[in-house]
């Protein structure tokens, strides 16, 4: 019986042979991609298996969409853009936009960063393929080097760590003052989304791949992502919120705003679910997001329709959700969509500019890529998640992020509890 390691070694030999044959046909610097079908295996395990900190294997990216249609693992880069690229041909770019300019802790994550990977493993409809990206500048030799650096997959394990300290920024008293200050601005800013960073120091180094594996098992109905651009930090997330998904000129987006926790038993859960659909404060909070998205799309000359509100249930919380569909103008690019829709009032506030200014002036830390947007874009399709329910992992530290929309009627203690509910899954995984 062949071992998993032997099968992996055979796969590497097969990939090398395919690249060498491709070089004979296309030359050492091809201008088109090579797609190689492979026997499926666990892509998170592949990412975990790369224990050698080889510079050649960075960036390392993991992506799974909310519908579980695609799971992707990327290694290396043949192109890097600090602007939103416009893909041509077979190009595909992965990356994101920050919510704010990066501070010291976000040194690896500039305001805008997109990379075209060298190696892209994609699992789709239970079939796995490796796309070796080429653009006429990078060589077959470089791709062979990356393949030779790859180590065999290692199965994810249960997170086995102990949290030794926790620090909230802002703390509870500062949060109460922040909420009170936001409500004082209600005439100028009907809604502002305030957030908190919770830093956990663990006894041992945190394995980000084990952590995201358990996180996505707990909340499967979410986008799952990890962006690691160096050995220093990995930004991971398990986000329920889509910024937009585009297939040619058809667009899907949503207003996801308004939150209550899950009930302890079915009857309480149903009562809380109904409160999302009938609460005037929550309805107002969600409507502000809808209004912003619809008006932004109409400015781009899109035809827009909205669904009836419904409830999205997650492990510890449930949200009010309105699906929005649009037919885009032929001239609309992904860059137009990203610049117009990001950040939505679901993570910033409304009106947009005064809310963002309030956050810049008043919040106690820099959000960086938290509440930004992450995803990928290519000619025929793009898919972006709002980077909430996210964490920044570095050595033995985890920085968790959570936000809450503040409107007239918000109560600081209740909003604090909402923040707790939103990070509860990770705290459970770590057995805090």
- For 264-270, the CB contacts below 8 A with 24+ separation are none
Number of neighbouring beta carbons within 10 Å of residue 250: 12
Consult the annotation and say whether 285 binds a ligand: yes
Number of neighbouring beta carbons within 10 Å of residue 284: 17
The burial class, CB within 10 Å (0-12 / 13-18 / 19+), for 181 is middle
Which residue intervals of 1-110 are DSSP H helices? Answer: 4-26, 43-49
**Catalytic (active site) residue 241:** yes
Consult the annotation and say whether 90 binds a ligand: no
- Report yes or no: 281 and 409 within 8 Å, Cβ to Cβ: yes
Three-state SS string over 186-203 comes to: CCCCCEEEEEEEEEEEEC
374 closest CA partner among 197, 237, 247: 237
Peptide bond into 170 cis (omega under 30): yes
Residues 120, 241, 363, 415: which is the catalytic one? 241
121 closest CA partner among 67, 76, 85, 56: 76
- Report yes or no: 49 and 75 within 8 Å, Cβ to Cβ: no
Number of neighbouring beta carbons within 10 Å of residue 106: 21
294 closest CA partner among 285, 282, 306, 307: 306
Residues 142, 152, 191, 399: which is the catalytic one? 191
Tokens of 54: 């080889």
**Catalytic (active site) residue 191:** yes
Residue 225 Rama label (left phi>0; alpha psi -120 to 50; beta)? beta
379 closest CA partner among 92, 130, 7, 57: 92
Stated as kind and residue range, the H or E segment containing 214 is helix 208-218
| Furthest CA-CA distance within the chain | 71
Peptide bond into 367 cis (omega under 30): no
| Length, in residues, of the chain | 432
Between CA 357 and CA 168 the distance in angstroms is 22
Peptide bond into 351 cis (omega under 30): yes
Binding-site residues for Mg(2+) sit at 285, 418
Binding-site residues sit at 285, 418
Q: Which residues are catalytic?
A: 191, 241
């Amino acid at each position: 019986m062949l071992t998993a390691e032997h099968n992996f070694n055979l796969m590497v030999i097969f990939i090398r042979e395919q690249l060498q044959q491709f070089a004979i046909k296309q030359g050492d610097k091809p201008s088109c991609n090579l797609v190689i079908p492979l026997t499926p295996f666990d892509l998170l395990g592949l990412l975990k298996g790369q224990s050698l900190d080889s510079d050649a294997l960075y960036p390392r990216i993991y992506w799974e969409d909310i519908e579980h249609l695609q799971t992707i693992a990327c290694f290396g880069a043949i192109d890097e853009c600090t602007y939103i690229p416009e893909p041509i041909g077979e190009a595909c770019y992965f990356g994101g936009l920050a919510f704010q300019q990066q501070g010291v802790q976000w040194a690896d994550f500039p305001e805008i960063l997109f990379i075209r990977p060298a190696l892209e493993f994609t699992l789709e409809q239970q079939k796995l393929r490796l796309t070796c990206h080429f653009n006429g500048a990078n060589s077959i030799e470089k791709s062979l080097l990356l393949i030779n650096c790859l180590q065999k997959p290692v199965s994810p394990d249960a997170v086995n760590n102990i949290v030794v300290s926790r620090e909230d920024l802002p703390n509870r008293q500062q949060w109460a003052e922040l909420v009170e200050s936001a409500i004082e601005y209600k005439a100028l800013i009907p809604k502002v989304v305030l957030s908190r960073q919770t830093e956990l120091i663990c006894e041992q180094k945190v394995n980000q791949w084990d952590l995201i594996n358990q996180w996505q098992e707990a909340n499967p109905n979410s986008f799952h992502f990890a962006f690691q651009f160096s050995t220093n930090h990995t930004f991971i997330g398990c986000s329920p919120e889509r910024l937009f998904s585009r297939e040619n000129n058809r667009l899907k987006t949503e207003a996801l705003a308004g939150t209550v926790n899950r009930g302890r038993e079915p009857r309480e859960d149903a009562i809380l679910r109904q409160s999302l659909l009938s609460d005037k404060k929550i309805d107002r909070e969600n409507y502000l997001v809808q209004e912003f998205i619809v008006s932004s799309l109409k400015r781009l000359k899109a035809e827009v329709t909205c669904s009836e509100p419904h409830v999205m249930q997650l492990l510890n919380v449930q949200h009010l959700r309105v699906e929005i569909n649009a037919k885009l103008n032929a001239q609309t690019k992904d860059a137009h969509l990203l610049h117009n829709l990001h950040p939505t009032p679901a993570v910033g506030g409304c009106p947009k500019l005064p809310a963002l200014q309030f956050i810049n002036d008043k919040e106690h830390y820099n959000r960086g890529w938290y509440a930004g947007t992450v995803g990928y874009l290519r000619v025929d399709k793009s898919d972006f998640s709002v980077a909430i329910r996210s964490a920044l992992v570095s050595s033995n530290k985890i920085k968790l992020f959570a936000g809450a929309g503040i409107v007239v009627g918000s109560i600081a203690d209740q909003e604090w509890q909402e923040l707790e509910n939103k990070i509860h899954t990770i705290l459970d995984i770590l057995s805090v």
